[in-house]
């Protein structure tokens, strides 16, 4: 039996090192022999050796669909990637509920909105509304959370007033579509307002959106930032852990 | 399309009591929402009076007009009252009046007031002429459908959602080519909470394409062209949902749409739209759909995405009874009521297929004259597209064997992204294979007396029966408060759009409702 060389791994299909990749895609060209040739050539340019079209057909006039195989000759150094802290451990919905029960003994109150001129509630809805995102419930669906989703185009002052009114543990701000650096301005303003109210220590502040990163969020004075691909349980994991840590440290 | 009669051994007495309870619930709803209108209902009236377009800052003229009257405290009379009066006083059309109001040249409330009877007559005349115009277009469409011919049921309903209407056209052509019968353009996520309908063609959306009248027209023209050149009629569908459900019904009528998702409960539960607002809008929205021969699709399938498919099955059946009655009360005939149902039991459940079969057959037997809109597995579908494709195969089998009227096709990439152009084609090929291979399977099948399928169907019906009796006792609003549907609770005095509800005053007038209550073309159904 051969050892796998973890410094140079490539796809495995039938035997070690064969590099076989299955792929399918559509080209906006008429169904023809030339289309087939184009797909083979394209796969070659992608770096695949011995590309093969196993199926192709017309979808509608001018569009052809392909199923292909090709041999990938590239490899990656898996060993170098291990232990670099890529494996962030998020909890599942059930685990979060149990964690909250054990460590917090009460509901976590969360207030969220898409602020400023942003009309898009898609981000905050994905995190907070029951329907959630990618088949994962939003926080509204958790027993351990009490959520207030104020929707879109909410002024920072309204968001903060609501947070104070309901005694929020966390404020969530979504910035989906912004122009220039309006989102930076919006996000900064909220932090300043929370600080002016003397509430910064009582609340977790988190923001999210396609142009938000954890690095940017921290720079602006938030506890965390969430980017594309975030699912509600990722956010929930962060909130319950952070809150539990705060409870523990305050004795 | 007649359902195979009585394979489940259902008790007709229980069914009759369910219908009775649903009638009681629908009557209570009618009572609760009476004496009110909404800003969107009034905007629909302006649309059916021919008002269209937007001002310089892209505010749609129906909004400009309704807001103008609302801000001056006159909306309790109905927008038609003010428009009718202004037509008499100025001799201008509703569109010209809207433009004058938008330009700030005219205040509808400061005009001299004509006598009520004269106003009603003038505005009803205008409205009747517009309805005749739309009806004429509907008749042309019916003729086209008949000339080109329909596919046998189940009709294959396919969703597109690129965000760009011009890309949607390409996707829709591929759908038609692969045998799709109904193309539905999913709306942008943000749209359901907008209290206006955007204007003009749009090329950007999130998770879907904005429903605008211009986008409707672009899709309709493209599909008509395809239908004519390929000799098969392709239907179009959109979404009468969110805060503008009645306006979208009016727009769809103008542009010759054939189907509409139409269920306020979806917006109430999943978009937190106020219950009363949603149900007032729904009543008018369904009335418009019903009148113009549009088949409506209800949204019970959604409950199974947030509640457990096995436990929540009775709530689906109960909701079907209620939705059916509410639709009939809005003048929608059975043949245009496609009640929602879905194949959502998790894959590892032993005998899950039998339970799905029982539920699908149950819906058909309870509502034999309704087409039913049967939805594919989504909730438990993850990125493993090969497993999803396999689950869809079983779903397709149940669809054809139980004779569903409309099937939303499953696509292998469910749960990953909105489908790519080839994903839908793969889904449709799966459908074709199964529908063809098992075309008359339903005719051959009888279920074992007291077996798993019969027992399950009877249990679900019994559960629905108990639930309906309880809802009839406490009312639908309280039932929603108690999280009866989809495990979501909503309160009657909360939710979005609540500020758009307006109490009607004694002189309130809405010509659309009156005219549509007259014997309509709707009794001849598009799904005969």
pLDDT tens-digit series, residues B354-364: 999 999 999 99
Give the nearest chain A residue to B207 (CA atoms). A122
Cis peptide upstream of residue B395 (ω within 30 degrees of 0): no
Q: Which of B103-112, B269-278, B332-341, B352-361 has the lowest mean pLDDT?
A: B269-278
Does B419 score more than 80 pLDDT? yes
For the segment B184-200, the average pLDDT, to the nearest whole number, is 88
Q: Given an 8 Å threshold on Cβ–Cβ distance, is B272 in contact with A149?
A: yes
Cα-trace Rg, chain A: 24
Best to test chain A binding among B160, B303, B425 (most A CBs inside 10 Å): B425
Q: How many whole angstroms separate alpha carbon B234 and alpha carbon B16?
A: 37
- Mind telling me the catalytic residues of B? 266, 301, 373
Q: Given an 8 Å threshold on Cβ–Cβ distance, is A65 in contact with B189?
A: no
Three-state DSSP string of B281-313: HHHHHHHHHHHCCCEEECCHHHHHHHCCCCCCH
Q: Given an 8 Å threshold on Cβ–Cβ distance, is B270 in contact with A130?
A: yes
> B417 CA to chain A: closest CA distance, Å?
9
Per-residue pLDDT, A196: 92
pLDDT, averaged across chain B: 93
Count CA within 13 A, CB hemisphere, residue B97. Answer: 29
ipTM: 0.85
Does B414 score more than 90 pLDDT? no
Let me know: does B158 contact B183? Beta carbons within 8 Å: yes
Tokens of B440: 């008359």
Describe chain B by its helix, strand, coil percentages, rounded to 5.
Answer: 55, 10, 35
For the segment A56-61, the average pLDDT, to the nearest whole number, is 95
pLDDT digits (tens, 9 = 90+) for B237-253: 999 999 999 999 999 99
- Mind telling me the catalytic residues of A? 131
Listed in order, the ranges of chain A carrying CATH 3.40.50.280 are 93-250
Distance in angstroms between the alpha carbons of the first and the last residue of chain A: 56
Q: How many whole angstroms separate alpha carbon B79 and alpha carbon B130?
A: 16
Listed in order, the ranges of chain A carrying CATH 3.30.30.60 are 1-87
Per-residue pLDDT, B520: 44
Per-residue pLDDT, B518: 64
Per-residue pLDDT, A83: 56
Q: Given an 8 Å threshold on Cβ–Cβ distance, is B415 in contact with A134?
A: yes
More confident residue, A116 or B121: B121
Per-residue pLDDT, B3: 42
pLDDT, averaged across chain A: 89
Per-residue pLDDT, B391: 97
| Inter-CA distances, B224 with A40, B77, B174, B180, B189, Å | 36, 41, 14, 14, 27
Q: Given an 8 Å threshold on Cβ–Cβ distance, is A58 in contact with B177?
A: yes
Give the nearest chain B residue to A66 (CA atoms). B422
Does B1 score more than 60 pLDDT? no
Does B521 score more than 80 pLDDT? no
Q: Which of A77-86, A235-244, B379-388 has the lowest mean pLDDT?
A: A77-86
pTM: 0.82
> A185 CA to chain B: closest CA distance, Å?
23
Q: Domain A1-87 classified CATH 3.30.30.60?
A: yes
More confident residue, B308 or B463: B463
For the segment A85-105, the average pLDDT, to the nearest whole number, is 84
> B187 CA to chain A: closest CA distance, Å?
12
Q: Which residues of B touch A (CB under 8 A)?
A: 170, 173-174, 176-178, 189-190, 193-194, 206-207, 269-272, 305-306, 378-382, 415, 420-422, 425, 486-488, 496
Fold of A93-250: Rossmann fold (3.40.50)
């Amino acid at each position: 039996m051969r050892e796998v060389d973890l410094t140079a791994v490539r796809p495995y299909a039938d035997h070690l090192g064969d590099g076989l990749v299955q792929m399918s895609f559509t080209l906006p060209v008429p169904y023809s022999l030339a289309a087939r040739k184009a797909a083979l050539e394209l796969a070659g340019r992608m770096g695949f050796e011995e590309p093969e079209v196993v199926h192709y057909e017309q979808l509608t006039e001018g569009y052809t669909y392909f199923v292909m195989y090709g041999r990938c000759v590239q490899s990656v150094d898996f060993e170098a990637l291990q232990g670099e802290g890529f494996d962030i451990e998020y909890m599942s919905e059930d685990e979060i509920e149990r964690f909250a029960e054990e460590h917090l003994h009460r509901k976590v109150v969360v207030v969220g909105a898409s602020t400023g001129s942003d009309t898009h509630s898609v981000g905050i809805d994905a995190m907070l509304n029951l329907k959630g995102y990618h088949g994962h419930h939003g926080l509204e669906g958790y027993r351990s959370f009490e959520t207030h989703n104020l929707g879109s185009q909410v002024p920072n002052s309204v968001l903060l007033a609501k947070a104070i009114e309901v005694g929020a543990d966390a404020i969530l701000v979504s910035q989906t579509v912004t122009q220039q650096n309006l989102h930076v301005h919006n996000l900064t303003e909220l932090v300043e307002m929370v600080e002016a109210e003397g509430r910064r220590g009582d609340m977790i502040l988190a923001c999210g959106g396609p142009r938000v990163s954890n690095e940017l969020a921290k720079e602006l004075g938030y506890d965390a930032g969430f980017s594309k691909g975030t699912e509600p349980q990722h956010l929930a994991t962060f909130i319950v852990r952070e809150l539990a840590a705060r409870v523990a440290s305050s004795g | 399309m007649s359902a195979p009669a009585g394979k489940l051994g259902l008790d007709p007495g229980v069914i009759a009591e369910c219908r009775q309870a649903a009638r009681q619930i629908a009557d209570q709803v009618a009572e609760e929402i009476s004496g009110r209108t909404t800003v969107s209902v009034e905007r629909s009236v302006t649309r059916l009076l021919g008002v269209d377009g937007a001002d310089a800052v892209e505010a749609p003229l129906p909004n400009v007009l309704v807001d103008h009257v609302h801000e001056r405290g006159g909306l309790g009379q109905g927008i038609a009252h003010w428009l009718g009066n202004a037509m008499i006083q100025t001799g201008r059309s509703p569109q010209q009046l809207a433009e004058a109001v938008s330009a700030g040249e005219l205040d509808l409330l400061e005009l001299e007031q004509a006598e009520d009877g004269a106003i009603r007559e003038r505005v009803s005349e205008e409205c009747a002429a517009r309805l005749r115009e739309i009806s004429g277009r509907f008749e042309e469409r019916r003729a086209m459908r008949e000339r080109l011919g329909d596919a046998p049921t189940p009709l294959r309903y396919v969703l597109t959602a690129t965000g760009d209407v011009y890309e949607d056209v390409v996707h829709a052509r591929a759908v038609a080519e692969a045998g799709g019968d109904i193309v539905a353009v999913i709306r942008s996520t943000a749209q359901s909470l907008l209290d206006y309908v955007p204007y003009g063609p749009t090329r950007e959306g999130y998770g879907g394409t904005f429903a605008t009248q211009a986008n409707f027209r672009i899709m309709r023209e493209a599909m008509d062209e395809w239908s004519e050149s390929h000799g098969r009629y392709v239907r179009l569908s959109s979404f009468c949902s969110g805060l503008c459900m009645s306006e979208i019904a009016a727009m769809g009528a103008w542009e010759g749409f054939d189907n509409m998702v139409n269920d306020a409960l979806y917006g109430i539960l999943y978009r937190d739209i106020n219950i009363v607002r949603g149900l007032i809008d729904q009543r008018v929205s369904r009335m418009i759909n019903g009148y113009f021969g549009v088949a409506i699709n209800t949204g019970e399938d959604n409950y199974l995405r947030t509640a457990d498919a096995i436990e929540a099955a009775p709530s689906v059946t109960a909701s079907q009874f209620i939705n059916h009655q509410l639709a009939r009360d809005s003048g929608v005939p059975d043949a245009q009521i496609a009640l929602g149902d879905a194949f959502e039991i998790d894959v590892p459940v032993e005998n899950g297929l039998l339970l799905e079969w029982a539920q699908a057959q149950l819906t058909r037997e309870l509502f034999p004259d309704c087409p039913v809109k049967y939805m594919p597995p989504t909730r438990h579908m993850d990125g493993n597209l090969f497993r999803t494709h396999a689950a869809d195969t079983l779903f397709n089998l149940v669809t054809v064997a139980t004779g569903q009227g409309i099937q939303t096709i499953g696509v292998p990439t469910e749960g990953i992204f909105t489908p790519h152009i080839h994903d839908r084609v793969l889904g449709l090929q799966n459908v074709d294979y199964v529908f063809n291979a098992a075309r008359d399977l339903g005719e051959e099948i009888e279920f074992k007396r007291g077996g798993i399928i019969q027992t399950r169907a009877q249990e679900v019906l019994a559960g629905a029966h108990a639930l309906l009796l309880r809802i009839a006792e406490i009312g639908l609003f309280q039932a929603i408060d108690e999280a009866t549907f989809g495990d979501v609770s909503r309160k009657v005095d909360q939710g979005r759009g609540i500020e758009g509800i307006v109490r009607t005053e004694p002189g309130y007038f809405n010509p659309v409702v009156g005219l549509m209550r007259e014997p309509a073309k709707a009794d001849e159904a598009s799904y005969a």
